[in-house]
Amino acid sequence: MVREEPYACGMHLYELNEPADLTDPVLIVAFDGWVNAGSAATGAAEHLAGDGEVIARFDPDELYDYRAARPTAEFESGVLASIEWPALTIRHRSAEGRNLLVLSGVEPNWRWQRLGREIADLAIQLGVAEHVSLGGIPWATPHTHLTSIIETASEHELLEDDADHPEGTLQAPASATSAVESYVAALGIPTRGFWARVPHYVGAAYVPATVALVERVLAHLGISLPYGTLLNDAAAQRRRLDELVAEQPEAQALVERLERLAVEDAPSGEDLATEIERYLQQQPPELDPFGDDGEPGGPSGE
């Protein structure tokens, strides 16, 4: 049996290998859990981090309930070879003169306030100039339309005039992403949030939403990065969804109703909730736009 090395993090929840020569880095945060519909946020974080160096690792024993976020055991020929624990890390990547610090992993089960305080203090230590939260929200929107982004910020003045943001007071169950952001903002670091609207009927990772978040972050930071296969994967997934919808009359009727709502004046929250409730009452299967190999449209992405 493999013996795991003890995790020693001293007084902090994390171990840090501080990189040198950071200039006005941006901290990008995405957790796999609440507010990660279609894996949009973690998919974008993974792409933005690329093969960046891990500069901080958080102690999983302090943050996770292993009955809820169970580690994965790997056996080789009947012998326990390893256990993969839920992970939360910060990765560093340089892109066109900008330093990206990408905090991502499984959403912690507890100690959100301590985590928020420690990340905020770490942001000050590393000279973070801006904090960006990423998320995905299930929405009554059709996959046939471009993914739209809701924006939030720590100060109203940070929102651009044409930003799509909630009006008035909005209450929703908090995520660890927002909890961390609140502590960072309290120390005076400006924060922005980009939240992709993900079709509520898609039952798998939704690549178009990941693309939309990556595009929005890059535009906001004024940098460019290669997209790799993301764009082809997103197009292939939309084609596959078209095929699945065409095979299910109830799903086709739903998408057509959502398309009509989208071109009308902005529907109310009540309208959107009614549409989702009507769909769920029909209880059709979720649409899984992935092939048997687990990739959109097949291994080539086409």
Closest CA to 153 of 141, 143, 164: 164
Q: Supply the pLDDT for residue 288.
A: 66
298 pLDDT more than 80: no
Whether the CA torsion 57, 59, 64, 70 is positive or negative: it is: positive
Q: Is 247 exposed, middle or buried (0-12, 13-18, 19+ CB in 10 A)?
A: exposed
| Three-state SS at 137 | strand
Q: Supply the pLDDT for residue 10.
A: 56
Q: With cut-offs at 50, 70 and 90, classify the pLDDT of residue 279.
A: very low
Q: Supply the pLDDT for residue 49.
A: 97
Whether the CA torsion 205, 133, 53, 25 is positive or negative: it is: positive
**Which residues fall within 8 angstroms of residue 112, CB to CB, at 6 or more apart?**
176, 179, 180
The two most distant CA atoms of the chain are separated, in Å, by 62
Q: Supply the pLDDT for residue 301.
A: 33
| Three-state SS at 190 | coil
The structural domains of the chain, ordered by start, are 14-227 (3.40.50.10900)
Distances from the Cα of 279 to the Cαs of 35, 91, 199, 242, 275, in angstroms?
Answer: 21, 40, 12, 18, 6
Distances from the Cα of 229 to the Cαs of 133, 202, 296, 302, in angstroms?
Answer: 24, 20, 11, 10
- If phi over 0 gives left and psi between -120 and 50 gives alpha, with beta otherwise, what is residue 253? alpha
Q: With cut-offs at 50, 70 and 90, classify the pLDDT of residue 218.
A: very high
Q: What is the CA radius of gyration of the chain?
A: 20
Q: Supply the pLDDT for residue 255.
A: 85
Q: Supply the pLDDT for residue 171.
A: 79
176 pLDDT more than 70: yes
pTM for the model: 0.84
**Which residues fall within 8 angstroms of residue 161, CB to CB, at 6 or more apart?**
none
Strand pairing report for 88-95 and 79-84: unpaired
